[in-house]
Every structure is written in C-alpha cells, then in structure tokens.
Copies of this chain bind each other. A is one copy, B any other.
Amino acid sequence: MVVKIGFGKLGNIGSAPLLEFLLDERAERKDVDVRVIGSGAKMGTEHAVEIAQKLIEFKPDLAVVTSPNAALPGPTKLRELLTGAKIPTIVISDGPTKKAAPEIEKLGAGYMIVEADAMIGARREFLDPAEMSLFNADLMKVLTVTGVFNYLWQEIDKAVQSIQKRETPILPKVVIDKEKAVSYSGLSNPYARTKVMAAHEIARRVADLTVEGCFMVKEWERYTQLVAAAHEMMREAARLADEAREMEKAEDTILRTPHYDDGTILTKRKLLEKPKKVGEA
C-alpha cells in the first residue's frame, strides 16, 4: 500500500521547508506519495480553508500541518477541517503552541511542539529576504544536529507504518525539549551531546529576544538591536551544532539513518560501511 501524506503549510517555521524531504531524502521511497499545499507567508483562516480543501481532495491517509503558533485562528481552522474530514492529523509548530495542546488533543490530532524553533526577528528595519534565509539556514542546522528533525520524521514514519499495517496510527503528543531532542540526535560523543544541548537552549532563547523585539519594544533603535542580537544567537547555535557534528566526524561515528525504498530505516555509523536494517547482521 502506498500511504498518501498531505502536508499543509501555513506561514513558515524552521521545521517546515524541508519536512517532506526528510521522509524521502533521495526520492527513492515507493511506499509513500506526498502532496504539499501551502499559502506562503500568510496564515489567515481563508488560507486555511483553501489549503484544507485541496488537501482533502487529495484524500490523504495522513495529514501533517505546519505553522507558527498553532493556537492562532488559521492553523486552528486548518486542523479542525482536516480532523473533521476524519484524516489523522499531526500538528507541527513552535513554542507558543503549548497553550493549544489540550484543544489539539481534544480534536484527536497529534502534535509535535518544537521548542527550539524560535520565531524570526520580523522587523522591517532588520529582516529582509537575505536575513530571513540565513536565519532559516542556521535554524535548520540546529534542528538537524540537535535531533529535532530526526524526531519529526521518525514520528511521521511511525504513523505511516501503522497505516500501512491498516492500524489506527498512534499520533505523537510531544513537546520536544532539549533532552528529548538530544535523545534523537544519534550523537555518540558525550561532549558533542552537551554541545548540541547548548545549541538547543541558545536557539530556544532566541525567541525571548524576538518576542521582546517584535511585540514589546516600540523604539525602533532598541528593537532592531534586540532582533539582530537574536539572530546572532541563532548563528552561534548553528556554529555549535556544526562543531558537534565535526566531533563525530573526528571519530567516524556519525549515525546515518537513510530510508530504504520500502520506507525501512537503515542505519550505519562508519562512513565506509554499508547501511543495514536494524537487526541485520
């Protein structure tokens, strides 16, 4: 059975742009069919309705919706329409979504709240296309090496596997914090693990400054510096994540977990060894 996964994207968070490719990194999987519907930077309820409609037309076995702050009306509407259409739905969003978690549970949807997926410094004096792109690139590095991305795709994969077995998928209900992230990082050196835990916390705290700079401070010289400082923090977190990965290279222990054609996850540690299925000799 080919499992149909529909991704609905309202606005942007760091977890969103590469999400569908995390599931099928070499375009070789035969067990899934993916469709993505997005509304760009906008995330109003009218966008939510249209995205839901297109996704439902696709008749997905599983829906994954991404947005900032899933407590807002747009993301709320989107998941209500999808769960209303009996589609198993996973909400992936950032820290402010915590307050919506009970309501998401009530809908029967799953959620993965990514604490390190900090809000960008969205002030006109600072954020232009280049700055937006660099922030996302740094954030992606952090989310990758800290283990957050592994957590995301492995939970989606689990749901896919349940569906393939015609079981009701168990949808994740998790706030990914520093320790949960690191447990998925696959890092073997304990100092590499502490470095990515540090990177995670720095990334998470970026949001303190961007929230202050975007919503609480009115003087433009002050908020410009605040959001700029926040982006420096994210750059630093990315640098630390990179340092951790280089440590693993130095010991030739980078965990690689490529997908096999049938969706199975293979695993290997040494660069010059063949990946194996778990349990394979």
Contacts and interface: CB of A to CB of B under 8 A. Distances in A.
Interface of A: 5, 7, 9, 11-12, 17-18, 20-29, 32-43, 50, 54, 122-134, 136-138, 140-141, 143-145, 149-150, 153, 178-179, 182, 186, 189-191, 193-195, 197-198, 201-202, 205, 208-209, 220-222, 224-226, 228-233, 235-236, 238-240, 242, 245, 247, 249-252, 256-260, 266, 268, 270-272, 274-275
A144 B133 contact: yes
A275 B125 contact: yes
Given A11-B27, A137-B144, A198-B236, A252 B124 contact: no
27 contacts: A7-B38, A11-B27, A22-B129, A25-B127, A26-B123, A29-B41, A33-B42, A35-B38, A36-B38, A38-B38, A124-B266, A126-B256, A128-B259, A130-B145, A130-B186, A130-B256, A130-B257, A134-B141, A134-B145, A137-B140, A191-B271, A198-B230, A198-B233, A201-B208, A202-B236, A224-B271, A251-B251
Interface centre among A50, A242, A250 (most CB of B within 10 A): A250
B252 A250 contact: no
List of 6 A-B pairs having minimum Cβ-Cβ separation, nearest first? A34-B40, A36-B38, A17-B17, A27-B41, A197-B229, A198-B232
A260 B129 CA distance: 12
A46 to B, nearest CB: 10
Nearest to A132: B25
Contacts of A131: 25, 256
A114 to B, nearest CB: 14
Contact of A41 (B26, B140, B179): B26
Nearest to A27: B41
Given A23-B40, A197-B225, A247-B250, 18 more contacts: A18-B132, A18-B136, A21-B133, A22-B133, A24-B40, A34-B39, A124-B258, A125-B256, A128-B256, A130-B256, A137-B144, A137-B238, A189-B252, A194-B225, A194-B232, A195-B232, A235-B242, A250-B251
Contacts of A138: 137
Contact of A39 (B35, B205, B228): B35
Contacts of A21: 12, 40-41, 129, 132-133, 136
Contacts of A128: 25, 256-259
Nearest to A193: B225
A257 B129 contact: yes
Nearest to A237: B236
Contact of A42 (B7, B27, B228, B242): B27
A127 B266 CA distance: 11
Nearest to A17: B17
